[in-house]
Every structure is written in C-alpha cells, then in structure tokens.
Amino acid sequence: MKTKNIVLTIIIAAMFVACSKFEDGPSISFRSVCKRFTGKYRVAKITKNDTDLTDYWNQHYDLTFGFHRNEDYRAEEEMYADIYGKVDSCGKWKTHANVYPFILQVNNDVKFSNYNYLVPQYWNMQGFYPLVLDTNMHLSEPVRFTITRLSDTEMWVEHTKGNDTYEIHFKE
C-alpha cells in the first residue's frame, strides 16, 4: 500500500512539473498566475544580450512597477500598471508617473505589454528600452514581455527585438 501511495505521489508531482508555464519556475503554485503577477516590483537585474545593465539602470532610474487587477472589469486578466518614481534628466531627478491598462495574456506563454512612455515634458530625458520608452520612438505596437519566472516575490521577463534579447528580473 505504501508503494502505491509513493508512486501515485510521484506521478501527480510529475504532472505539476510538466505543466509549469514558466521555464524558470516555480513548478508548483497554488495561486493563479494573475494573483502572483499583481504586486509592486523593482528592477533587481536587467541585461541586454547577457550584458548586465543593472548599474546603469540604478544610476538613472528609481522606479516602482505596480501591477494590479482592474476592479472595474470582471475578467481577471484585465490589469493596469502604475509606474512611479524618479528619472535622471541631465543630472537632475524628476518625478515620473504613468498608468496604463493592458491584458495579461495567459496561454502556453504568459505575456504582458509595456506602454510606459515618458511624457512630453520629459523629452530631454533618456528612455531605457524596453522599460521606459521615449515618445519619439513611434512604436507601432507596445513592447511585449514574456514571463519566464513568476513566484510570490519575483518575476523574470524577456523581450526580443531583432537580434537583441532583454532579460529583466523584478523583485517585490
């Protein structure tokens, strides 16, 4: 009887591991993707083609990314982001705030879009693709991120544009 229970436990655990949506885990979670996604995050690491840009980010950006469910809508995937903090502009820190709605796409992959543009009064500020976009970029569509890890305290995302791959690790 013990052997049957052990085998059954192994089979069930293997099914959970095989069904994980995220390459980097977690393998098992009892919270929905939307519930784990919501929260306030800060950039812990950012790379472009495996080159670490975290120090540059920390020198010029002090932003918090808040992702929340849009309570006005019934669908759990209808979210909004509020990004706020300070951005370096020619050696002076200026306040930055942006709020935008988006749909969290939960399929085989989990994706979300970035609409975080610097407002016109900050045109002399540098954007930081793909997290803080310059209004002069004239993108035909928003930047889409694929979530590769989503736990209760961290989220890792990837974005590819041409030959460039960006990886961002957020921590709550």
Model confidence over 65-77: pLDDT tens digits? 999 987 776 677 7
Q: What is the mean pLDDT of residues 128-157?
A: 85
What is the domain count for the chain?
Answer: 1
pLDDT digits (tens, 9 = 90+) for 114-126: 888 876 555 566 7
Distance, in Å, from the CA atom of 147 to the CA atom of 155, rounded to the nearest integer, reads: 7
What pTM, to 2 d.p., does this model score?
0.79
Q: Distance between CA 69 and CA 73 in Å, rounded?
A: 9
Which range of residues forms the domain containing residue 39?
A: 2-171
The amino acid at 165: T
Handedness of CA 38, 78, 30, 45 (dihedral sign): negative
Contacts of 88 (CB under 8 A, 6+ apart): 59, 60, 61, 94, 125, 126
Q: What is the CATH number of the domain that holds 83?
A: 2.40.128
